[in-house]
Amino acid sequence: MYKLIDGKVMSSTMRWIIAQGVNGYKDKYKRDVGLVVVMVGDNPASAIYVRNKIKACEEVGIKSYSYHLPEETEQAQLENLINDLAVDNNVDGILVQLPLPKHIDAENVLKLIPAKKDVDGFSSENVGKLCLGEEGIVACTPNGIMKMLEHYGIETAGKRAVVVGRSNIVGKPMAMLLLNADATVTVCHSKTKNLKEECLNADILVAAIGKPKYITEDMVKQGAVVIDVGMNRDENGKLCGDVDFEKVKDKCSYITPVPGGVGPMTITMLMYNTLQAAVNGEKF
Ligand code: GUN
């Protein structure tokens, strides 16, 4: 019988704890914790994510500043905004919602976010720290997944972990976190041969592919822990993950649902990272 990893319940407990931290910070330093969320254009999925991020800020007492710029915003305009926010003392964290419109060079925009305000953990400095096992800001989704594994007492040391997907946002940092936690890690991607065989080796399988119900029961080892990062629509327009939950669940020891699994934890870790950025800001 599988156990459900409940991201909603974990998130609400963690948000309560973060709110206490934010309150303590405000009392001590007589200032707010501030997060800026920048969105360019009208990608509907991004609009939902941004709305949920702003709602989470309200929930934990973080002051949010939202910039919604038109699709036709030029590179220089966006870069000027980020440069201003980089030196604004009211701003502890800067998040530029991805994807950006095609005419914008996202890499050059993200580079302008100082590492100490990089609450996404995307900067070379934070990624470098993660690789070296040093303390830094860690990307929200994989960091949230590690918290879920810890909370449910799921051992990683010596386990075979397979991460399907090699994005900078999820796959790569996920692999590094699992490696730092002493798992034996394989990263699979679109050019991987024998994906099914690779997945069948996994004690812990993380699916971050972006294709609805891609992981089927024949790809999952009996007793595996399955973590679903996907957020897709199925053929009926219903929200679903990268894992075919109904078919896979009975093979699992633990599995995350979609919705209510990784998603809420990602936003909670953004709140956690923003508080961490504010606290770190007081040290210098
Ligand atoms: N778009 C999808 N996921 C993310 C994320 O974690 N951070 C940012 N900035 N954009 C995203």
Cis previous bond, 114, omega within 30 = no
Q: Ligand 1 test: best mutation among 53, 97, 145, 168, most atoms within 8 Å of CB?
A: 97
**For ligand 1, what atom is nearest to the CA of residue 99?**
1
Residues linked to residue 79 through DSSP beta bridges, in sequence order: none
8 Å CB contact between 226 and 187: no
Three-state SS at 241: coil
- 104-137 tens-digit pLDDT: 999 999 999 999 999 999 999 999 999 999 999 9
98 lines ligand 1 (CB under 6 A): yes
95 lines ligand 1 (CB under 6 A): yes
Helix (H) or strand (E) holding 157: none
Nearest-CA residue for ligand 1 atom 3 is 98
pLDDT score for 38: 98
Annotate 58-73 with b (16+ C-beta within 10 A) or e (fewer). Answer: ebbbbbbbebebeeeb
| Confidence class for position 282, pLDDT limits 50, 70, 90 | confident
Order of strands, edge to edge, in the sheet holding 204-207?
A: 3-4, 252-255, 224-228, 204-207, 160-164, 184-188
Distance CA(216)–CA(206), nearest Å, equals 13
Q: Ligand 1 test: best mutation among 35, 120, 271, most atoms within 8 Å of CB?
A: 120
96 lines ligand 1 (CB under 6 A): yes
224 lines ligand 1 (CB under 6 A): no
Average pLDDT for 194-222: 98
| Confidence class for position 284, pLDDT limits 50, 70, 90 | low
C-beta neighbour count of 163 within 10 angstroms: 30
- Please identify every residue annotated as catalytic: 53, 97, 120
- 143-202 tens-digit pLDDT: 999 999 999 999 999 999 999 999 999 999 999 999 999 999 999 999 999 999 999 999
Sequence-separated (6 or more) residues with CB below 8 Å from residue 206: 145, 161, 162, 163, 164, 165, 174, 178, 227, 229
Sequence-separated (6 or more) residues with CB below 8 Å from residue 264: 7, 8, 10, 11
- 47-74 tens-digit pLDDT: 999 999 999 999 999 999 999 999 999 9
Global confidence as pTM: 0.97
Residue percentage of the chain with pLDDT more than 70: 100
Q: Ligand 1 centroid to 72 CA: how many Å?
A: 20
Nearest-CA residue for ligand 1 atom 1 is 98
106 lines ligand 1 (CB under 6 A): no
C-beta neighbour count of 105 within 10 angstroms: 13
What is the phi/psi pair of residue 25, to 5°? -65, -45
Average predicted confidence (pLDDT) for the chain: 97
Q: Look at residue 283 and tell me whether its pLDDT is greater than 90.
A: no
